[in-house]
Amino acid sequence: MAGAQELKLLGWWAPGVSPFVLRAQMALAIKGLSYEYLPEDRGCKSDLLIASNPVYKKVPVLIHDGRPVCESLLILEYLDDAVGLAGNGKPILPADPYSRAVARFWAAYVNDKLFPSCIGSLKTTKQEERAGKVEETLSGLRHLEGVLAECSKGEVEAPFFGGDSIGFLDIALGCYLPWFEAVGRLAGLGPLIDPARTPKLAAWAERFRVAEPVKALLPGVDELEEYITTVLYPKWNVAVTGN
């Protein structure tokens, strides 16, 4: 039987900056699991990372009893399914098969469509391209407003996508909240999750930010802005003055 002391998480060198690593950390915290955090060096990938994730060579990687699990959403599912883990046993995914499928669908949408559109608005200085990415982002947030409304259909309004407590889709989306705020500032757009456009989603975001135990893990927006401008802008070949 594996214990909490046998969990290791290969993460990013800058704490809180990677939303994917943050996602895994949130799940571990919600489940009350202790683990060893091993930050990767910014300029050199460790032998352990390369051996644990030889295909993509990216973090996060959860190592449980010597066996690696890659990709943040798969780590969330693994933590729900793994037998023998210590912790509080709180589920992340819904129990109902249909609800699980819906949560997985929208988590994939957030990963593959919403966040890339959001970041894409900073990767260009061309106004037409930026406007298109912004509209894609706002459209995606409107979709999620509808999903959140559906979670409360016929009942008292649910505080989270997961119902009364933080669940799979909450974590999948919530890890991006500091990024939405930072991108909105840097692009001169104001809040991307705006109560005037998506009131339910804005209220959800406020609840998520102050919820235990995730609130202690969320990075500061100023810190994230600095990371974007000093690390990502040069990588994208985007001038700070162009934004």
Domain spans in the chain, listed from the N-terminal domain onward: 4-81, 97-242
- Whole-model pTM? 0.94
Domain 97-242 is in which class? Answer: mainly alpha
Query: Going residue by residue through the chain (243 aa), what tens digit of pLDDT does each one get?
Result: 334 458 999 999 988 999 999 999 999 999 999 999 999 998 899 999 999 999 999 999 999 999 999 999 999 999 999 978 888 999 999 999 999 999 999 999 999 999 999 999 999 889 999 999 999 999 999 999 999 998 866 556 789 999 999 999 999 999 999 999 999 999 999 999 999 999 999 999 999 999 999 999 999 999 999 999 999 999 998 754 433
DSSP 8-class letter at 21: H
| Residues 6 or more apart in contact with residue 225 via CB below 8 angstroms | 182, 185, 186
Whether 76 contacts 28, CB under 8 Å = no
**How far is residue 57's CA from residue 74's CA, in Å, rounded to a whole number?**
16
Fold of 4-81: Glutaredoxin (3.40.30)
